[in-house]
Amino acid sequence: MKQLTIAKAINAGLSRAMAENPKVMLMGEDIGSLGGVYRVTEGLKDRYGAHRVLDTPLGEAGIVGTAVGLAQRGYRPVCEIQFDGFTFPAFNQITTQLAKIHARSDGNLTVPVTIRIPYGGVIGSVEHHSESPEALFAHTAGLRILAPSNAQDAYWMSQQAIACNDPVIIFEPKRRYWLKGEVDEERPTGDAFSAAVVREGQEATIVAWGPLVPVALAAAEAAREDGRSVEVIDLRSLSPIDFDKVTASVRKTGRLIIAHEAPTFGGLGGELAARVTERAFYSLEAPVLRVGAFHMPYPPAAVEDHYVPDLDRVLEALDRSFAY
């Protein structure tokens, strides 16, 4: 076991993948000598050379477009998008090319491209640096999407994404990059594309992912002090979604709160709520409730704490659920 931050765990996962497969290469703005804005790739250029850790021009469309070509020539490129809000210049390449080549070629072509996107807010930054755009990509068939919330998952998900023959987007919770946790480098945490029950409970279920998982766990602990038993599920994979694990939990607890940092309107919480209602309607003791950001552009840093869901808002949703 090692104690690593999420950022260091991703670095270690990338390094292991590069050591095991010479076709794995990293691409992105300032990821080489600088190690990226968050120093996630620090030291990898020195270890593996500039031909495998490429500093690219500031052009996300070019980064992803080049990766598509490299993948079809046998490489496994890993692209870093510097900030979540900078993903959109490459939206066309991701959603109309990368996601569709396998189906378009009747299964004859694979594009094993991994795209790493630091996402989410509460870092005191400016516009376009704190977005949570996961729903835009989850709506596009042909993409797999992961969202680690801890160092162990960050380490193994990085490697499982690179090994996958489908294109994978990893949304990395940038405000949690410095969160430490134990990493077992010999024992994977199971299938990356499945959910995990990270706290067992009997009376309500909270589903969260990425940066909101620690908030959900804190809410469950606060509820315990009030005599309530709350289960917490880390969704982990946003496409595909492990509906079976979520449904099984709700059939047990009878209540569901979904918490995510993205705006509630049009967010993935709506899809989860609809599926669970379809599958477990007669088990529900209360409506499925969602906790998310407001339907507005991400605000200035001075007021972002009022925009992003926090412990109080999750607990308020729990109170409303138990009031039914």
Rounded to 5°, the CA angle 131-168-232 comes to 65
Q: What local confidence, expressed as pLDDT, does residue 140 receive?
A: 97
What residue type is 174 in one-letter code? K
Average pLDDT score over the chain:
97
Is 51 annotated in the active site?
A: no
Q: What local confidence, expressed as pLDDT, does residue 172 receive?
A: 98
- Show contacts of 126-131: CB within 8 Å, 24+ apart: 126/300, 126/301, 127/85, 127/297, 127/298, 128/83, 128/84, 128/85, 128/86, 129/83, 129/84, 129/85, 130/84, 130/85, 130/298, 130/304, 131/83, 131/84, 131/85, 131/87, 131/298
Residue 73 pLDDT > 90: yes
Q: Could you give the CA distance from residue 127 to residue 304 in angstroms, rounded to a whole number?
A: 11
Q: What local confidence, expressed as pLDDT, does residue 178 receive?
A: 97
Question: 2-59 pLDDT, tens per residue?
Answer: 999 999 999 999 999 999 999 999 999 999 999 999 999 999 999 999 999 999 999 9
Q: What local confidence, expressed as pLDDT, does residue 301 receive?
A: 93
Range scoring the smallest mean pLDDT among 119-128, 157-166, 167-176, 249-258 = 119-128
Q: Could you give the CA distance from residue 93 to residue 67 in angstroms, rounded to a whole number?
A: 10
Question: 136-153 pLDDT, tens per residue?
Answer: 999 999 999 999 999 999
Which is the catalytic residue, given 129, 260, 295, 306? 129
Q: What local confidence, expressed as pLDDT, does residue 188 receive?
A: 83
What's phi and psi for 153, nearest 5 deg? -65, -40
Residue 127 pLDDT > 90: no
Please list the alpha-helical segments (H only) found in the chain.
6-20, 44-48, 60-71, 91-92, 101-104, 134-138, 151-163, 213-225, 243-253, 268-280, 304-307, 311-323
Q: What local confidence, expressed as pLDDT, does residue 35 receive?
A: 96
Q: pTM value?
A: 0.96
Q: Cα–Cα distances in Å, from 135 out to 95, 96, 113, 253?
A: 12, 16, 19, 27
Residue 126 pLDDT > 90: no
How confident is residue 190, by pLDDT bands cut at 50, 70 and 90?
A: confident
What's phi and psi for 121, nearest 5 deg? -110, -150
Q: Could you give the CA distance from residue 218 to residue 212 in angstroms, rounded to a whole number?
A: 10
Q: What local confidence, expressed as pLDDT, does residue 189 receive?
A: 80
Q: What local confidence, expressed as pLDDT, does residue 40 receive?
A: 97
